[in-house]
């Protein structure tokens, strides 16, 4: 498929999806949401890890307010249900690990998009802004799901009500993101992280994602049952056999993702 609002590359089992509307700081419009959804689903079949990043000096400034959004006459519920939800479900439910490499501002729905990924790695100069109240809205695109789970209710409430910019360093300290990396090391670092995951045990990664997502609502007994089921699946893989042999032979394991 040809993409107009994103770039999609696939190399060495790593899919890189670059939001590519730099003239509006990679703001999300209808076409971009559809293209992201398509590319994420494609990556799940073609790659062993997916990286989402932004073109030039921004990650994503949020909803493109010039994209048919008329204040006071906008069907935002339809937009969220029909356009955002498929995109967010595609990322959340992807069987492969997803990394948001946040290279600049992540505001509004752009912040929610980043937080939908499994791992968020941000450059030190990046900022996260729950900018919704500035235009009379509340956080959406999964933001009210992710934030209280990641940083607690008090911080989530303050960040949402005040809309204060949160630096990458503070976001890492709070647990909103995984890592904040010096700007000049950022590109090499997220690429190395992606390479590590692409060379790893894919079935185990899928199990980790499923188990951790389920743990939020499971009882302890339910979680133990799920762990046993998923670990049983991992134990049947070639990668588990290779991992054990490599451990006994005191060498690095070579995982094939099966």
DSSP H or E run through 193 = helix 183-198
Does any domain span residue 255? no
Instruction: Mark whether 177 and 233 lie in a shared domain.
Output: no
Q: What percent of the chain has pLDDT over 90?
A: 90
User: Is pLDDT above 80 for 94?
Assistant: yes
What tokens appear for 146 in the block?
């992710």
Q: Are residues 40 and 123 in the same domain?
A: yes
What's residue 257's pLDDT?
Answer: 82
Which residues contact residue 153 at a Cβ distance below 8 angstroms, ignoring those fewer than 6 apart? none
pLDDT greater than 70 at residue 69: no
Looking at the structure, tell me whether residues 85 and 98 fall in a common domain.
yes
Same domain, 15 and 117: yes
Q: Say if residue 100 is in the same domain as residue 223.
A: no
Nearest residue to 171 (alpha-carbon basis) of 129, 216, 231: 129
CATH number at residue 120: 3.90.226.10
Q: Are residues 213 and 189 in the same domain?
A: no
Strand order in the sheet with 179-181: 6-11, 14-19, 49-54, 98-102, 119-123, 179-181
Domain contains 188? yes
Structural domain includes residue 160: yes
3-state secondary structure 149-166: HHHCHHHHHHHHHHCCCE
| In a domain? residue 253 | no
96 shares its domain with 23: yes
By the 10 Å C-beta count (0-12 exposed, 13-18 middle, 19+ buried), 248 is classed as exposed
**Residue 87 falls within a domain, yes or no?**
yes
Please give the model's pTM, rounded to 2 decimal places: 0.93
Half-sphere exposure (Cβ direction) of 149: Cα atoms closer than 13 Å? 14
What are the tens digits of pLDDT across the range 147-164?
999 999 999 999 999 999
| 220 pLDDT higher than 70 | yes
Residues 217, 122 within the same domain: no
Q: What's the pLDDT tens digit per position in 168-215?
A: 999 999 999 999 999 999 999 999 999 999 999 999 999 999 999 999
pLDDT tens, 3-52? 999 999 999 999 999 999 999 999 999 999 999 999 999 999 999 999 99
Q: Is residue 105 domain-shared with residue 209, that is, in the same domain?
A: no
Is residue 99 within a helix (H) or strand (E), and if so which, with residue range? Answer: strand 98-102
pLDDT at 2 over 90: no
User: Does residue 39 sit in helix, strand or coil?
Assistant: helix
Same domain (yes/no): 37, 155: yes
Which range marks the domain in which residue 12 is found?
6-198
H helix intervals, 74-142: 76-79, 85-92, 109-115
Predicted confidence (pLDDT) at residue 72 exceeds the cutoff of 60: no
The H or E element containing residue 187 is helix 183-198
Q: Are both 147 and 222 inside the same structural domain?
A: no
Here the CATH number for the domain that contains residue 233 is 1.10.12
Tell me: do 133 and 63 sit in the same domain.
yes
State how many domains the chain has: 2
Instruction: Show the tokens assigned to 195.
Output: 């390479």
Residue 93 vs residues 3, 203, 218, 250: alpha-carbon distances, Å: 22, 14, 17, 35
* Residue 39 maps to a domain: yes
Report the C-alpha dihedral over residues 70, 7, 255, 118, rounded to 10 degrees: -20
């Amino acid at each position: 498929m040809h993409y107009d609002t994103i770039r999609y590359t696939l190399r060495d089992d790593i899919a890189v999806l670059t939001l590519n509307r730099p003239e509006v700081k990679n703001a999300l419009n209808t076409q971009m949401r559809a293209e992201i959804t398509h590319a994420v689903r494609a990556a799940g079949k073609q790659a062993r890890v997916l990286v989402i990043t932004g073109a030039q000096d921004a990650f994503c400034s949020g909803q493109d307010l010039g994209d048919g959004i008329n204040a006071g006459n906008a069907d935002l519920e339809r937009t969220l249900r029909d356009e955002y939800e498929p995109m967010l479900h595609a990322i959340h439910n992807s069987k492969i690990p997803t990394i948001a490499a946040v290279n600049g501002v992540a505001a509004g729905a752009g912040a929610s998009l980043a937080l939908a990924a499994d791992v968020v790695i941000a450059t030190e100069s990046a900022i996260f802004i729950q900018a919704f109240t500035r235009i009379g809205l509340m956080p959406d695109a999964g933001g009210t799901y992710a934030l209280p789970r990641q940083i607690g209710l008090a911080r989530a409430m303050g960040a949402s009500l005040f809309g204060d910019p949160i630096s990458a360093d503070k976001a890492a300290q709070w647990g909103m993101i995984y890592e904040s990396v010096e700007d000049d090391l950022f590109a090499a670092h997220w690429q190395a992280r992606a390479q590590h995951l692409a060379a790893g045990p894919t079935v185990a990664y899928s199990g980790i994602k499923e188990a951790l997502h389920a743990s939020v609502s499971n009882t302890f007994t339910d979680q133990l049952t799920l762990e046993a089921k998923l670990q049983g699946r991992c134990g049947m893989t070639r990668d588990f056999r290779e991992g054990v042999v490599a451990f006994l032979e005191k060498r690095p394991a070579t995982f094939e993702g099966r």
